[in-house]
Every structure is written in C-alpha cells, then in structure tokens.
Chains A and B, each alone.
Chain A
C-alpha cells in the first residue's frame, strides 16, 4: 500500500516571503499522480497543483510550484510571495494509475500560518 508522509505539522511564513512544504511518499509503482490540496477553515478541499510521475518537468501554477524528485520519492510544494489567504492546511496526496478508481491517499497535512 502507498503511504504519504508530511513531516512538518506546522509552518509559518511572513507575507510576501517564500515557504516550502515537504512531502515524501512510498510506492512500488512507476506511474502515478501527485497532488497538493489546500483546506482553509471552511474545510473545502481545493486543488493547488498536480504532477504526473511520468513528467520530469516540475509543475507550476502561478505562485505555486513543486519540486518533484521521483527517485527520492519527494514532492515538495513551494509557495512564493505568500499571501494571507494562503493560510490553511495543506495536504499532499497520491493517486495510483493502475485502475484503482481514482482513490487518493493523503498525508497528515501541514498547517501553514502567514504572518504580517
């Protein structure tokens, strides 16, 4: 079974600064998908960014980018120019590509605080 580990329960960043959230995973599969989801106080899960394992190029979405290291099974999220609205729980998630009906496995989450 796949596991996803987020070793930072809490992180803090000043507004306009950059922060990196860590995520590692364990799998024996070669094809899979990785996601970062954001959960604000409203508890709504919001997709931040996604990465296909077969792509070497790191995904970017505006201020959000990832550092995907397949050999190391690492998938960190970098948030640039942090904004107050970025404060939330961030979950790293893994999805197999082997027909398991899109089941997502989540990490334990990192709570991000953004300070003035």
Chain B
C-alpha cells in the first residue's frame, strides 16, 4: 500500500529556533498533502493543505508566517516551525492521498513528529 514517511519522528529545539519537518510519499506522487496538529489527548486539527508548485492553503487561525509550508516536488512537503515557542510543542502529522485512488479512498498518514520546544 501507499506509504507516507515523516522525519524526524521526534525533535527537541530551543525557543527562538526553527525546525523543519519532512513528509515524503514513498511510492506515489502526491500533488496535495495535509498537515495536522494534535495536542495531547485531543483530536487532529488541520493546519494547512500543501499544494505542489503553489502556495499552501492555511486554515483559519493558523499563522502562515510561523508555519512555513513548501511543497517543491511531487513527493516532498516540508513544514518549518519558525521562531518556535513552548506552546508550539505538539504532535504534527502529515497525510496524502494517492491521486489515482477512487474517491472513497482514505488518506495515508505519516508516523508523526513529536516536537518539544524548551
């Protein structure tokens, strides 16, 4: 089946620094990828839709200058958390859908990245 790889799985950074999270579709080309954020014991909240070759579409309330998304190729989307603060500590998950799949096909999720900002 389709595989989505996310790296790193766990990262610790200091306040004020930036951290980049990568999301790769390993065996298919993903024109669209989705970035979700999950706080402890809470649901997944969509942050943005990453579109290959164009600007990402951000959900209401998500700061686009703080969460930079780049989707430069059909297999890679990156999320950069800039000037990180402790409140950015969270679990970030990316997902993608195989374009050729039927409409009812599910999203394929990465394993997630646990970000801790100290």
Contacts and interface: CB of A to CB of B under 8 A. Distances in A.
Interface of A: 33, 35, 37, 42-45, 47, 50, 52, 91, 97, 101-109, 111
A104 B34 contact: yes
Interface string B17-58: 000000000000000101000100111111001000000000
Contacts of B95: 45, 104
A102 B42 CA distance: 21
**Chain B binding surface SS class:** strand
Given A33-B104, A109-B43, A45 B34 contact: no
A106 B43 contact: yes
Contacts of B32: 101-102
Interface of B: 32, 34, 38, 41-46, 49, 91, 93, 95, 97, 103-104, 106-107, 109, 111-112, 114
B43 A33 contact: no
Given A102-B107, A108-B43, 4 more contacts: A35-B106, A37-B106, A43-B114, A45-B109
A101 B49 contact: yes
Contacts of B93: 43, 45
24 contacts: A33-B104, A37-B106, A43-B38, A43-B93, A43-B114, A45-B44, A45-B93, A50-B104, A50-B106, A52-B104, A91-B43, A91-B44, A101-B49, A102-B32, A103-B34, A103-B46, A104-B44, A104-B46, A105-B46, A106-B43, A106-B44, A108-B42, A109-B42, A109-B43
Given A101-B49, A103-B34, A103-B46, A43 B111 contact: yes
B91 A43 contact: yes
Nearest to A102: B97
Give the interface centre of B42, B49, B107, B111 by most chain A CB atoms within 10 Å: B107
B13 to A, nearest CB: 19
Q: Which 5 pairs between the two chains have the least Cβ-Cβ distance?
A: A45-B109, A47-B106, A102-B97, A106-B43, A108-B43
Contacts of A44: 109, 111-112
Nearest to A100: B49
A33 B102 CA distance: 12
